Structure 1
Amino acid sequence: MEVVILPGSGAIGAAVADAVEALLRRKPDSVLGLATGSSPLPVYDELAWRHAGQGLELSSASAFTLDEYVGLPTGHPQSYREVIRREFTNRVDIDPSHVHSPDGGAEDIPAACAAYEEAIGNAGGVDLQLLGVGTDGHLAFNEPTSSLASRTRIKTLTEQTRKDNARFFDDPDDVPGHVITQGLGTIMEARHVVLIATGGQKAQAVHDLVEGPVSAICPASLLQFHPHATILIDEAAASGLKLAEYYRYTYEHKPRWQQL
């Protein structure tokens, strides 16, 4: 696990965009894993700018989103399919038919989950997965005590997570109580996972996932077992880390050829 402490979200967005751009230039038909929420927005802004201003191409790439609410009508502005379109995929040249999301409106939810797992496998697996982390350490919508070997499935949201997401809805009661989410086992199969966390409210979760024990109470701590996990955080999110100076030192002294 590499921990990178940067001054703010702009620097983090540029660093992650560098990694995505290098991947796309090396492998134009890359499979990207896309996350919603505020954490990846600087990355999407930077990639959209590079597409418009520098000719970065995503036309051969494909993407899979992490999760989707259950029960929102098709086209609902807060469905994660629509959020990803609005915040990223409609701003670049990726083929809309190559952007995949779990089917939160399916009549047979278990079958839809199995189909999503199959689609990821048929695409060759995810090359680079963007992630955020919840204040309670949840990863995607794998809430605390989720199975560390879990696959794509339906999950019940905690009240804290619903409160965290209420700002996106007109009425807090409109936040769905269930989601389809990629499982922790699914996420761990991505070849490179990149987690972004900013702000002091994420400091405890960052400490737990980086320096705490691997435990289902902090699902994101499972990333300690990933062979290529990059954790990008700002100073506020890094405030609870015991080895912060070491992480700064190792990043500053990386070989020039070594990327994220």
Structure 2
Amino acid sequence: MKIVKVNNKEELSEKATELFVHALNRLEKPVIGLATGSTPEGMYDKLTEKYQAGDITFKNAITFNLDEYASLAADNPNSYRYYMDEKLFNHVDIQKENTHLPNGLAGDLQQECTTYDERIIEAGSLDFLVLGIGLNGHIGFNEPGTAFDSRTHVVELTESTREVNSRFFDSLDEVPTEALTMGLGTIMEAKEIMLLVQGVKKAEILKKVVHGEVAEEVPASILQRHPNTTIITDIEL
């Protein structure tokens, strides 16, 4: 693991944008994995600015998001498809047919997961993957106890994860109980991973991820075994 220490969220967004742009520019047809949440928002803003300035293009990029809620339509403001459209896709020249998220409304969610994994493999696997981390060490929606060799799958969200995410909903009752997520095995096949971790509340779990035992109870700890992971954080380690 390479650790890049920054002083604040603005610096984190700047450094994350730098690594993202390097990945975007070095490949003819980059396959990029994307994350949602508050931490990468600044990066998406800066990527939009760079596109509008004519510095980058997304026209040849293919994207796969980490996860999506089950039961939410794409036009629901709390869906991750809606988030990605609002934060990035609607503001750059990416072809919408090249932007992929799991379909949370699929009639057969398990088959949707299998198909999603197949699409990633057909694209050549992920060249560059953006990750965030939950307070319990989850990456994507891979909660503690998820098998390290897991593929894209349906997961029942823990109450702690639902409570954290309830800030985006009108009430906890509105937060879906299930989601579709890339598995840890799928994530580990990415050629390069960038983990963004911001805020003192993530300090305890990040120290476990970086310095602790590699264990399924701390899903992100598997990144110790990845050959090309960069962690950008404002946390002292």
TM-score by length of 2: 0.97
Q: What amino acid does structure 2 have at the position aligned with 1:9?
A: K
In 1: Cα distance, 2:139 partner to 2:97 partner: 26
Are 1:45 and 1:88, in contact at CA under 8 Å, matched by a contact in 2? yes
Map 1:110-125 onto structure 2 (within 5 A): 110-125=110-125
Moved beyond 2 Å, runs of 4+: none
- In 1: Cα distance, 2:24 partner to 2:152 partner: 26
How many equivalent residue pairs? Answer: 237
Cα distance in 2 for partners of 1:174, 1:108 equals 22
Q: CA RMSD in A?
A: 1.0
Alignment partner, residue 133 of structure 2: 133
Correspondence 1:224 to 2:231: no
In structure 1, the residue matched to 2:187 is: 187
Which residue matches 1:31? 31
Task: Give the equivalent residue in structure 2 for 1:22.
Answer: 22
Partner of 2:8: 8
Q: Tell whether the 8 Å contact from 1:28 to 1:58 is kept in structure 2 after alignment.
A: no
What's the offset of the Cα at 1:118? 0.5
Is contact 1:102-1:112 (8 Å) kept? yes
Tell me, in whole angstroms, the C-alpha distance in 1 between the residues paired with 2:73 and 2:127: 30
Shift of 1:22: 1.8
Amino acid at match of 2:85: R
Matches within 5 A, 1:37-186: 37-186=37-186
SS in 1 for 2:138: coil
Contact 1:32 1:63 in 2 (8 A): yes
Displacement of 1:17: 1.3
Counterpart contact for 2:35–2:66, Cα < 8 Å:
yes
The one-letter code of the counterpart of 1:51 is Y
The one-letter amino acid paired with 2:100 is: H
Aligned to 2:197: 197
Q: Could you tell me how far 1:53 is from its partner in structure 2? A: 1.6
Deviation at 1:3, TM superposition (A): 0.9
Structure 2 CA distance for aligned equivalents of residues 84 and 205 of structure 1: 26
CA distance in 1, matches of 2:74, 2:161: 22
| Aligned sequence identity (%) | 40
| C-alpha distance in structure 1 between counterparts of 2:8 and 2:17, whole Å | 14
CA deviation vs aligned residue, 1:9-63 (integer Å, no higher than 9, x gap): 2112111211221222221310110100011111111111111124311111110
Partner in structure 2 of residue 209 of structure 1: 209
User: CA offset at residue 213 of structure 1?
Assistant: 0.6
Q: 1:197 to 1:52 in 2, by over 3 A?
A: same
Is the radius of gyration larger for structure 1 or structure 2? 1
One-letter amino acid matched to 1:184: L
1:204-247: per-residue Cα shift (whole Å, max 9, x none)? 1110111111011110000000000011101xx33xx3xxxxxx
Distance in 2 (alpha carbons) for counterparts of 1:233 and 1:19 = 14
SS of 1:180's equivalent in the other structure is strand
Q: Distance in 2 between matches of 1:102 and 1:131?
A: 16
Q: Distance in 1 between matches of 2:58 and 2:153?
A: 29
List runs of 5+ in structure 2 lacking aligned partners: none
